Structure 1
């Protein structure tokens, strides 16, 4: 089966090469003559959106399988949180204070990666959004431990290059937020949420909703920084209003340090994590 797939891949590449070598005529120069799979303009048509969605789902899936990645530890958090050595460049004093969570993310990723390597390095691989801030800290800690880590980037108007700590062959780029989120959660054995902004809030509540509705199996769900999260979200008020159940508050746990997070993961219970 694998040999047949490789043979088909060679044929497609050969045809693409051969098609580019034909004499230039009005017919061969027409966009209609391009091979469909080699025609970027065609692939970007609105009608091809289902195909693009499938490709974005399939490409990372195949490459992660080829790299034997079986499960992940996902880190979400603010791109603007600076490393402690750069806290002087933070736009606000409170943002500078949050730099301690860069260190905690880095330390946590280092600990979890060392554990992963003891069992072959294919389970509980650190996975981030591949950008700066908390994401960089996670990939950095994994690299310092001598392991691989994943970066799931996305094209944005203010997009920056992937941070330099992502394992190159596990650095991905997405157009569709929905497919990117699927790849974040499909293999997640734990989800760690650090202080952040709109993007982090989106990832927090979408992940919690999937667990709350049992569309995703319960996993350790850790919010780093109790003071931050209790200030920006009135969790008891949500339960008191009846818009969520009291038991929904047990879907996650607050932690403040990397060591707290490791202990929480080791002692997690689906029934009563809180």
Structure 2
């Protein structure tokens, strides 16, 4: 097929004022017409070493960077073993009671046989990584490029820095058997509601969500109960997706109990999927 397709009127010449309307160029699966047609081909732009370098900042090139982040993350974490993602504020430092709780949590999870995955930053993330590392567990930090320098804390054994939040979020869920939320800000809330959405829609199964610090979380849960449930935007049973505790041992126990039920949950999901396939056949 030629670059310019005039097959709409194969038996007559194309008038000059029609040429722009009928012009069409194919680039792989993409069709470009009229003013969207580029004056050069993909090969020309690839081989023209004298061209501008701004192509490395275009969306198609970003796709390769995104792909590389998925590949690096999957390759590094595929053999991690059982793990729990822990979220909490970067702003609550070493002299706060929340830091001590996070450190105790990291230690308890490691002793229970779980790797600890955090955002790799300071504050409560550092504390959870420290507790896990000092207990001899695997301490993972998934960092993110931010306008202000943060870096991976020194207690991380496996650290990965990401450009893209959505790739990082995939790693938090894919390689974890549960989620623990400590007091935190917008980032912690983002991860909390991401996990809730995935569990509510059954994108992940047997994935416990535990919040530590009843005084901190109770206002949010009251709002969900009194506003969202009352107005019908969520169901009352959706609140059962969240466990709230002030006790680190209790948090670990909830995660372990969910792990015990995981084979049954996965079997039920597999059976449902098989039934849906049979119905479609």
- TM-score (normalised: structure 1): 0.71
223-232 or 185-194, which moves further after superposition? 223-232
1:264: Cα distance to partner? 2.2
Gaps of 5+ in 1: 1-29, 34-39, 85-98, 117-123
Q: SS at 1:56's partner residue?
A: helix
Match of 1:224 among 208, 212, 226: 212
Match of 2:49 among 13, 25, 32: 32
CA shift in 2, pair 1:31/1:198, >3 Å:
farther
Q: SS at 1:189's partner residue?
A: coil
Aligned positions, number = 212
Higher Rg of the two aligned structures: 2
Deviations 1:174-232 (A, max 9, x none): 11100000000002111001111111111111110011011111312101111111124
CA distance in structure 2 between the partners assigned to 1:181 and 1:194 by the alignment: 17
CA distance in structure 2 between the partners assigned to 1:148 and 1:215 by the alignment: 26
217-226 or 129-138, which moves further after superposition? 217-226
Report what 1:138 is aligned to: 128
1:266: Cα distance to partner? 3.4
The reply on whether 1:78 has 2:98 as its aligned counterpart is: no
Q: CA RMSD in A?
A: 2.3
Report what 2:32 is aligned to: none
Report what 2:108 is aligned to: 111
The reply on whether 1:180 has 2:168 as its aligned counterpart is: yes
CA distance in structure 1 between the partners assigned to 2:191 and 2:83 by the alignment: 16
Structure possessing the higher relative contact order (Cα contacts under 8 Å, 6 or more residues apart): 1
The reply on whether 1:125 has 2:115 as its aligned counterpart is: yes
Gaps of 5+ in 2: 1-46, 265-281
- TM-score (normalised: structure 2): 0.70
